[in-house]
Amino acid sequence: MDAKKKRELRSLINTLKKIRGRHTELVSVYIPAGYNITKIINHLSEEQHTATNIKDKRTRQNVQDSLERIIRKLKLYKKTPEKGLAIFAGNISEKESQIDIEIFSIDPPEPLNIRMYRCDQSFVVDILEDMMDDVSIYALLVVDLREATMGILRGKLISKLASFTSDVPGKTTKGGQSQARYARIREEAAHTFFKRIANAVNDEFGEYKDLKGILIGGPGPTKETFFDGDYLHTRIKEKVLGIKDLSYTGEFGLKELVEKSDDLLAAEEVIEEKKIMERFFNALSTKGGGKAVYKEKDVLTALERGATEVVLVSEEIEDEKLDMLEEKAEAIGATVEIISVDTTEGQQLKEFGGIAAILRFKI
């Protein structure tokens, strides 16, 4: 997205975030790229009928009216837009006695791969927010001797990439020579299965230039056997952040892997923030040539002179100011980094006024 479209989308997201329903009456609909829009219309028509069971008369009417507005909107489309569609409708009136059903539609900046219908007291916008931000990308792999599933974690969104089933036979209770032969057959089948997984992992994850790391998980010892074996390329192995014990494989396993890797993911985010803040402090020092500024007016001056490489913004800065900084940064090819207040460095940035910059040259 260019700066203008990014500001427009952020503004609309902020508008949606401020709207609150009195009950679960705000409707959010996400339609994935390539999905049959007629099926969505039929589904929403069914939900409209189901809404007759809502006990509260006002909530029932608001939900039904919102769904009717969305259905009428969707009927204007011959097919789902190329990247999918996000539609929101609900009563936006702040007055208890007044009803004002409004509808918002958004062509997402990236292809949607999630289908969603939800009624709640707030609109579901986190999916769009993830698309707006330069979120981290992590590769996921869950594996046992029966199956393996590859996925990608982008922001909060988990996407399944591929799945594999094995030809490894189950364990046998037979003894003697036949048991030894059976064990060799299982070992060879597992080796073939691991090679097939590794080829896919090496090819697929090797293509992601911005990959932050790889998470591996699964039930039992299979995941360690796979990782410790000579299957993955060295450059792929080096990106593995951790290996987690799981109860599931498949898509449930991907979700469980992300949930159980909170510690690793949080540590990675903290490390990245610490690195960029260390860069700032080094640049600010005499040794760093004073190629950094930290007051808002000085950061704006640096942006106007094209001297800024990275703008550092505290997460507590208001959206309007962030939009303005992003616009100015994009105009000169600079980047903007949002810094949390959960670290010592983040607190220091907040004490500096919440805005700082690393410079290309001293001004």
The domain segmentation of the chain, as residue ranges, is 3-132, 137-260, 267-359
Domain 3-132 is of which CATH architecture? 2-Layer Sandwich (3.30)
Q: What's the predicted TM-score (pTM) here?
A: 0.55
d(Cα 27, Cα 123) in Å, to the nearest integer?
A: 7
Q: What string of pLDDT tens digits covers the 363 residues of the chain?
A: 555 677 788 889 989 999 999 889 999 999 998 899 999 999 999 999 999 999 999 999 999 999 999 999 999 999 999 999 999 999 999 888 889 999 999 999 888 888 999 999 999 998 888 777 666 789 999 999 999 999 998 776 788 899 999 888 876 555 555 777 778 888 899 999 999 999 999 999 987 777 889 999 999 999 999 999 999 999 999 999 999 999 999 999 999 999 999 889 877 777 788 889 999 999 998 776 889 999 999 999 999 999 999 999 998 888 788 889 988 998 898 999 888 887 788 889 999 999 999 999 988
Q: What angle do CA 327, 331, 334 make, to 5 degrees?
A: 90
CA–CA separation, 138 and 261 (whole Å): 11
Amino acid making up residue 322: L
Q: Which fold has domain 267-359?
A: 60s Ribosomal Protein L30; Chain: A; (3.30.1330)
* Residue with the two structure tokens 């950094």: 292
Among 3.40.50.300, 1.10.540.10, 3.40.640.10, 3.30.420.60, what is the CATH number of 137-260? Answer: 3.30.420.60
Residue 272 to residue 210: CA distance in whole angstroms: 13
- 36 exposure class (CB count in 10 Å sphere: 0-12, 13-18, 19+): exposed
Contacts of 285 (CB under 8 A, 6+ apart): none
The position carrying tokens 């048991």 is 179
Residue type present at position 339: I
